[in-house]
Structure 1
Amino acid sequence: MLTREGKNHSRIFSKLYFTEDASLSVQTLLAPGDLVAVADNGEITLLAPALQKLPERYLQVDLLKQWQEFLYWVREFFKEQGFVEIQTPGLVTCPGTEPSLDVFSTDLVLGSRREKLYLPTSPELHLKKALALGAEKIFEIKKCYRNGEVTTHHQPEFTMIEWYRAFDNLASIKKDVAELVKYLGSKMSSVNGPKAVDSFTIAQLFKRDCGFELVPETNKEQLRELATKLGVDVSSATQIDDYFFLLFLEKIESQLPTEHMTFVENYPPYQAALARLTEDGWGDRFEVYWQGLELANAFHELNDAKVQAERFKEDLAKKKAMGKEMIPLDEEFLQCLQAGMPPSGGIALGLDRLFMALTGVSKISETRLFPMK
């Protein structure tokens, strides 16, 4: 049987011993969840009493090990390709101007100096500054932050990789994506690759799934009429981007085969973001989909400072119309464009989502020990 050392018998790091006293038992001295050590001589030491139940969180050691293995091989792929890993700031003056994104902010206090700073929604602007400073093949694996959404595919804090090729275009970036996924499949056990790789332009998909001839000049009214015809609820839409997104989400993205990795290319000019336009007026960018997940967003990078400044102003006007927080522009980034950033291809890829697609994990919360609930 067991007895407890000490007069008050409190369950706080006491020693328990075997005894002949039949009135005592393990059940009366220990509680479920107590951590104990048992010596060879039968002595039992209470290491930590279970005075409270654990929070509802689940430690999946095998999955955490697989995540670490995943990050290791991602880094190895880019190092083998001759890329240099960059580290950009975790506090920035401009987190990005994408109208749909909500941000996290904080205040820098240095004596009498007060400055509002932000957690980055991506490292894009600083990596492009590095291109202007002379970098050519660079990547960063970074924690990024976007406010306002917790779903099976979204967490406010997530892990992103961005990589850039100076003096190059989207063809090389597209090849990188396919080769990265193939490489990870060859290095990691118990992962699945895509059954096929497809490429479509936005215009092809609108023709196939909506029976509509989308052109760069298609306006908001035409998209509204198409939505009405197809029975897509666009009552929440106010701008052309909204109509485009709601149509794409319901009629196109939902039709992409989950087991194929699909590149969707050439977006309307109002969806160009930080990409340059093609000669025929499309935004020269692509997105990547696999396993029902939007994995990546790639640009043939815009390096015209004047056009970029105009787009930033358009973004801020959209933010204002949507009632979102206004943010300052990164003037140093615009200075770098004016000084000369080389034509480049670049991409932002969500590593949590790529890990989910490879391993079959259905919820992004399962990829971490402490997800936001």
Structure 2
Amino acid sequence: MNKHWRPTAPIATLEIRASMLRAAREYFTATRALEVDTPTLSSAAVTDVHLASVAATALGRQTFLQTSPEYAMKRLLAAGCGDIWQICKVYRDGESGRSHNPEFTMIEWYRLGMDHHALMSDVERLIGAMLPPSRAFDRSERLTYREAVQLHAGIDPFDDPLAVLIARLESAEIEVPRDVKSDRDACLDLIMGILVGPQLGHDRLTFIYDYPASQAALAQIRGPVASRFEAYMDGLELCNGFHELANAAEQRARFERDLAERVKRGLPPMPIDERFLAALDHGLPECSGVALGFDRLVMCATGAKHIDAVLAFPFDRA
């Protein structure tokens, strides 16, 4: 008998998911943020070389399932919505494993007049409200990106030459692909993903902030660092937040650099979201925003070792 009709998450875990989502809605209501609902299908896609969009066809046109609601939510911010948030499904091709499912649940929100440090405190309060009492933690730990890499990998991510980064990976018996050996940020991503990230957040929530400016994505840059943070618990990256870039010309330049890098890597080109850039040109208010991987937080809440254990129907049973 085919038993793949059954959910992979126990019913008790699905009840915990529901209670955590209820706590999130109560938190945002109490903090006076507007719940919004933006399209899952878009005519544009992300240019980021680290993300793969899922293509779809609608009304005879090529469209893409969202990897994040970020661009649409920023259009609402530019239109004057104030603090906003949403719970939504997002899609990323090629992502499958212990902590990845191609379709997953994201909580994304934006606060006006906050920098990334203030938003970290907001993230800490939300996560504290969502987790069950058994996972209550003391005040979070905060480390700069440099401090975290120095502490857990023993190298300086800003000053050490590329050869030192490669040697550190190889000393840990990590095979470094040939194309990565010529890419400093790719080496740093491996170091963070394999040597540093798994060591973070085991006794309390840990924030890593002030990433290298070359890894700014959609964050503001301050000299050598980007106003960006990530939060970790149980060695899992839970969220990625920015003090948001509001300069349309700079954002377009970053998109174009992404597209040039895609050509170098043999990746397909992606259409730039011109409506998003038009919203930035109109004027994005001073704000910070963050995207939280909800399924991973449920893993932390329940002690699950695989994301399938917190999903009703993961990709293989969808």
Same fold (TM over 0.5): yes
Q: 1:161 matched to which residue of 2?
A: 107
Cα deviation for residue 302 of structure 1 reads 0.5
Q: 1:98 matched to which residue of 2?
A: 48
Q: Please, which of 288, 297, 300 is the counterpart of residue 354 of structure 1?
A: 297
CA distance in 2, matches of 1:53, 1:226: 47
The answer on whether the counterparts of 1:96 and 1:125 sit within 8 Å (CA) in structure 2 is no
Cα deviation for residue 314 of structure 1 reads 1.4
Q: 1:144 matched to which residue of 2?
A: 90
Aligned length: 313
- For residues 104-138 of structure 1, the C-alpha deviation after alignment (integer angstroms, 9 at most, x for no partner) is 111222xxxx4211000000011111111112210
Q: Counterpart of 1:241 in structure 2: which amino acid?
A: D
Aligned to 2:140, the other structure's residue is in SS state strand
The answer on whether the counterparts of 1:103 and 1:145 sit within 8 Å (CA) in structure 2 is yes
Q: Which runs of 5+ in 2 are unaligned?
A: none
**Pairing 1:42-57 to 2, within 5 Å after superposition:** 52-55=1-4, 57=6
Cα deviation for residue 172 of structure 1 reads 2.3
- For residues 207-248 of structure 1, the C-alpha deviation after alignment (integer angstroms, 9 at most, x for no partner) is 223333333x76645644554566643224152221111122
CA distance in 1, matches of 2:156, 2:237: 24
Q: 2:191 matched to which residue of 1?
A: 247
The alignment status of 1:108 with 2:58, answered yes or no, reads: yes
Closer, same or farther in 2 for the Cα pair 1:356/1:302, shift >3 Å? same
CA RMSD of aligned residues (A): 2.1
Closer, same or farther in 2 for the Cα pair 1:152/1:74, shift >3 Å? same
Q: Please, which of 234, 254, 261 is the counterpart of residue 205 of structure 2?
A: 261
Q: Which runs of 5+ in 1 are unaligned?
A: 1-51
Q: 1:17 matched to which residue of 2?
A: none
Q: Please, which of 21, 24, 28 is the counterpart of residue 78 of structure 1?
A: 28
Greater C-alpha Rg: 1
The structure carrying a bigger helix percent of its residues is 2
CA distance in 2, matches of 1:124, 1:98: 13
CA distance in 1, matches of 2:145, 2:300: 23
CA distance in 1, matches of 2:203, 2:5: 33
Q: 2:11 matched to which residue of 1?
A: 61
Closer, same or farther in 2 for the Cα pair 1:134/1:253, shift >3 Å? same
Q: 1:335 matched to which residue of 2?
A: 278
Q: 2:67 matched to which residue of 1?
A: 121
Q: 1:282 matched to which residue of 2?
A: 225
> TM-score by structure 1 length?
0.78
The answer on whether the counterparts of 1:232 and 1:247 sit within 8 Å (CA) in structure 2 is no
CA distance in 1, matches of 2:36, 2:134: 28
CA distance in 2, matches of 1:53, 1:312: 46
- For residues 147-170 of structure 1, the C-alpha deviation after alignment (integer angstroms, 9 at most, x for no partner) is 112211000100001100122211
> TM-score by structure 2 length?
0.91
The answer on whether the counterparts of 1:193 and 1:358 sit within 8 Å (CA) in structure 2 is no
Answer 1 or 2: higher relative contact order, Cα 8 Å, separation at least 6: 2
Aligned to 2:315, the other structure's residue is in SS state coil
The answer on whether the counterparts of 2:198 and 2:236 sit within 8 Å (CA) in structure 1 is no
CA distance in 2, matches of 1:145, 1:253: 23
The answer on whether the counterparts of 1:232 and 1:246 sit within 8 Å (CA) in structure 2 is no
Closer, same or farther in 2 for the Cα pair 1:371/1:134, shift >3 Å? same
Q: Please, which of 214, 234, 237 is the counterpart of residue 176 of structure 2?
A: 234
Q: Counterpart of 1:327 in structure 2: which amino acid?
A: M
Aligned to 1:139, the other structure's residue is in SS state strand
